């Protein structure tokens, strides 16, 4: 471990490792189009991300004219099918992600993803950018039957990675709460899909670029 203070570093996916806003907004707008509704701007979709696709769809319906009875359950499969088929059209790793993962790997740190996205979609998306094999484990919103802000996905991450001191990096209140509930240090990124300033998330630390992550963790 070369004296590095963490054995495990976990990451949220959407808005943390990858900028997926364009593809998520496209999926929402495709689904809204099935109801003859006007598309939403990406800026409007941004704060809807973080609690899973079904929540995002419900919020998209609410923002575009209301949520008819049964619409979420009826349209949810349509959204998932479209998103899976167009999962990596606009999405990209945030600047500095690859270098940070390279550095952590060189230090012997086990990295993991804990996301509220369905596990099979998370694996598909990470695979598109050759990131899946870098992760010791990938835990989705449907993997355990509970999701962030529950601490259970973080606990499972630590167990699956073989135990040891862990930190968690994310962009939402759900990430911060999950980390705090699990008793691990939390790092918020200021460039994610925030519904409030990163300084108001209650994270232990905030970074503005992934270049700052490893130097920060080295001090903790």
- Catalytic-residue membership of 130: no
Catalytic residue from among 12, 14, 23, 175: 12
CA 121, 115, 19 angle in degrees (round to 5)? 75
Q: How far apart are CA 29 and CA 44, in angstroms?
A: 11
Q: How far apart are CA 2 and CA 184, in angstroms?
A: 21
The catalytic site residues sit at 12
């Amino acid at each position: 471990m070369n004296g590095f203070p963490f054995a495990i570093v976990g990451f949220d996916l959407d808005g943390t490792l990858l900028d997926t806003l364009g593809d998520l907004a496209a999926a929402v707008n495709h689904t809204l189009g099935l109801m003859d509704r006007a598309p939403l701007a990406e800026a409007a979709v941004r704060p809807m991300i973080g609690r899973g696709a079904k929540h995002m769809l419900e919020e998209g319906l609410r923002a575009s004219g209301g949520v008819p009875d049964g619409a979420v359950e009826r349209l949810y499969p349509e959204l998932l099918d479209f998103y899976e088929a167009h999962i990596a059209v606009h999405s990209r790793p945030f600047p500095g992600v690859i270098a940070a993962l390279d550095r952590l790997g060189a230090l012997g740190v086990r990295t993991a993803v804990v996301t509220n996205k369905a596990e099979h979609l998370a694996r598909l998306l990470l695979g598109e950018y050759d990131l899946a094999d870098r992760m010791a484990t990938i835990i989705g919103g449907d993997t355990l039957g509970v999701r962030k802000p529950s601490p259970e996905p973080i606990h499972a991450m630590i167990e699956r990675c073989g135990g040891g001191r862990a930190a968690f990096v994310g962009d939402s209140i759900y990430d911060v709460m999950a980390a705090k509930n699990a008793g691990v240090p939390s790092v918020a990124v200021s460039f994610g899909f925030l519904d409030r300033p990163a300084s108001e998330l209650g994270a232990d630390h905030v970074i503005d670029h992934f270049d700052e992550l490893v130097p920060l963790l080295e001090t903790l």
